[in-house]
Amino acid sequence: MPRIQTVLAANRGEIAVRIIRACRELGLRAAAVYSDADADALHPRLADVRVPLGPPEPRESYLNIGRLIDAARRAEADAVHPGYGFLAESAEFAAAVRDAGMVWVGPPPEVIAALGDKATARRVAREAGIPEVPGYAEPGASDEALRAAARRLGLPVLIKAAAGGGGLGMRLVEREEALAEALRAARREAAAAFGSGGLLLERYLPEVRHIEVQVLADQHGSVLALGERECSVQRRRQKIVEEAPSPFASPALRARLAHAARAVAAAAGYVSAGTAEFLVDADERFYFLEMNTRLQVEHPVTEATAGVDLVKAQLRIAEGEPLRLEPVEPRGHAIECRVYAEDPARDFRPSPGVIRLLREPAGPGVRVDSGLREGWQVPVAYDPLLSKVIVWDRTREDAIDRMAEALRRYVILGCRTNLDFLQAIVGHEAFRRGETTTRFVERHFPGWRPGEPLLALAAAGILEALREAAPPAGAAGPAGPSGARPASDPWETIGPWRMGARGA
């Protein structure tokens, strides 16, 4: 296979930044695409080539296969990395890339089609002897069939997008009256997010853990398991805190999960990075959920513990290189917190805005995968994930302390984020004890609101008192009336201090 020269990152935000960095380290030309809403985003700035895609709406840009292929051609790309979300698990896109004579950085379209549809994936697992969650998964199932299946399985059930991942289109239904509206909403979300409204049902297992195993497979039949991740802390069925290794898994369970993940991947003829997801109950019984045929949002915790750069590994596998990794022994403990533009006190409502001030944490063992820059308007059109804080340390306790400090140091002003909520989670005794089931948030943070921010209120009071004492519109400093400052100026602030600063 010829060496890749130029890789198009067919995605946006932090994962596009992540892919671009890996390409540049490998000496590959990195191409970015951006919708009109992302013209000022970070990811095109870091690329070697940047190609506009079209209007903000995903169907006109990041979900538009024709435009992406066209952009790849204009960038003279010979490979496409899809990231996660959008078309990352679209067999159609993978095939279109291949048909355009480019390398798809991921599993072959046939494997995506087989595993990407959850119904088919379950059959593959079943045939490989891996237990699965009780549920109903028939391709193209109608609302009537789903309603009947829900009655058979017994409520509560979980509605899931057959084509999707990441919690989109997912609905927990506890009462029969809510079933019809939930099916309708889930179909709409699934169609909007994945281009297919296909749904499936699962019996809802309340007090379980969500544990997944990272696999890496080359084109020559080698499959490695790189350790498990625990992703149980979720809100609205979407992961917010992930860690590796699982604080719950015993060495025996860990080995059984790794074996099951390798078995599913091998049975499916898997290639590239992928993830086998399992539910695990308190008795260490586990159920295969699905195989994600892409890089996961939470891949960095495995990178930190296994010491493997998964994106570089994907690119090398795509070039045909055999896996040169001896079986990997994970080391230490890694945690990831997802930073969202959302308001945890208002049902995690998305909260876009302009990033007016940004200070990202740094230091030993701290990694921030971020798509942020000062002055950037967080678009309304996309998922509100802003960045991810990943920490590593020798023990879980040390990693928790490191995460707490990193979150305290993370300053994002201009849009509401979940940074306060993440601090509350990481600071909770139940989290420290490792009691991270999928019910963690609803159990420990029902109707959570941030505590009285006494220090912040005091700061606000003092700043406002100073402002009243010397209103900025009055005697302006040499910079001119503060009203004349451009709205995107991150330092547009606090009248009397505008010019009185020591640094000025």
Partner 1 sequence: MPEEIVLLVDDEAVPLRVARDGEEWRVSAGRHEVRARLAPLEPGVFTLTTGGRTYLLHAVEAGERRALHVGGRTLEYRVERRSGGRRRDAAGSADLSAPMPGLVTGVLVREGDPVRPGQALVIVEAMKMEHVIRAARAGIVRRLLVRPGQQVEGGAAVAEIAPPP
Kindly list the residues in this chain that would bind a copy of itself in the complex (CB under 8 A): 17-18, 21-22, 24-27, 39-40, 300, 303, 307-309, 312, 325, 331-332, 360, 362-365, 367-370, 375-376, 393-394, 398, 401-402, 404-405, 478-480, 484-488, 499, 502-504
Sequence-distant (6+) residues with CB within 8 A of 178 are none
Lookup result for tokens 């590239």: 272
Print the binding letters for residues 153-182 with partner 1: x by CB under 8 A, - otherwise. Answer: ---------------x--------------
Pick one of partner 1, a copy of itself, none as the site partner of residue 73 (Cβ within 5 to 8 A by kind). none
Alpha helices for 5-142 (secondary structure H): 13-25, 42-46, 65-74, 91-99, 109-116, 118-127
> 252 vs 487, which CB is nearer to a copy of itself?
487
Pick one of partner 1, a copy of itself, none as the site partner of residue 235 (Cβ within 5 to 8 A by kind). none
Pick one of partner 1, a copy of itself, none as the site partner of residue 423 (Cβ within 5 to 8 A by kind). partner 1
C-alpha closest to that of 88 among 343, 347, 278, 272: 272
Q: Is the peptide bond before 156 cis (omega within 30 degrees of 0)?
A: yes
Q: What is the DSSP letter of 178?
A: G
Site for partner 1 in 59-98 (CB under 8 A): 76
Pick one of a copy of itself, partner 1, none as the site partner of residue 293 (Cβ within 5 to 8 A by kind). none
198 binds partner 1 (CB under 8 A): no
119 binds partner 1 (CB under 8 A): no
46 binds partner 1 (CB under 8 A): yes
Pick one of a copy of itself, partner 1, none as the site partner of residue 414 (Cβ within 5 to 8 A by kind). partner 1
Sequence-distant (6+) residues with CB within 8 A of 176 are 150, 151, 155
Of the listed pieces 43-51, 129-137, 295-303, 432-440, which binds partner 1 according to CB under 8 A?
A: 43-51
Of 52, 269, 307, 375, the residue at the interface with partner 1 (CB under 8 A) is: 375
User: CA 18 → CA 235, 300, 376, distances in Å?
Assistant: 25, 10, 18
Site for partner 1 in 451-470 (CB under 8 A): 452-466, 468
Pick one of partner 1, a copy of itself, none as the site partner of residue 462 (Cβ within 5 to 8 A by kind). partner 1
CA gap 297, 338 in Å, rounded: 9
Least distance from a copy of itself to the Cβ atom of residue 165, Å: 22
Of 40, 284, 319, 401, the residue at the interface with partner 1 (CB under 8 A) is: 40
CA gap 315, 337 in Å, rounded: 26
11 binds partner 1 (CB under 8 A): no
Residue 169: strand, helix, or coil: coil
Of the listed pieces 152-160, 189-197, 243-251, 439-447, which binds partner 1 according to CB under 8 A?
A: 189-197
377 binds partner 1 (CB under 8 A): no
C-alpha closest to that of 30 among 52, 12, 46, 48: 48
Least distance from a copy of itself to the Cβ atom of residue 113, Å: 30
Site for partner 1 in 312-331 (CB under 8 A): none
Least distance from partner 1 to the Cβ atom of residue 488, Å: 7
CA gap 301, 396 in Å, rounded: 12
For residue 190 the two structure tokens come to 């699934």
Question: For residues 390 and 335, is the Cβ–Cβ distance under 8 A?
Answer: yes
Least distance from a copy of itself to the Cβ atom of residue 473, Å: 15
Phi and psi dihedrals of 292, rounded to 5?
-90, 120
Least distance from partner 1 to the Cβ atom of residue 491, Å: 4
List residues bridging with 34 in a β-sheet. Answer: 52
CA gap 123, 142 in Å, rounded: 20
Of the listed pieces 197-205, 270-278, 394-402, 412-420, which binds partner 1 according to CB under 8 A?
A: 412-420
C-alpha closest to that of 367 among 385, 388, 386: 388
DSSP assignments along 455-478, one per residue: HHHHHHHHHHHHHHHS-TTSS--T
Of 363, 434, 450, 481, the residue at the interface with partner 1 (CB under 8 A) is: 450
CA 279 to chain centre: 19
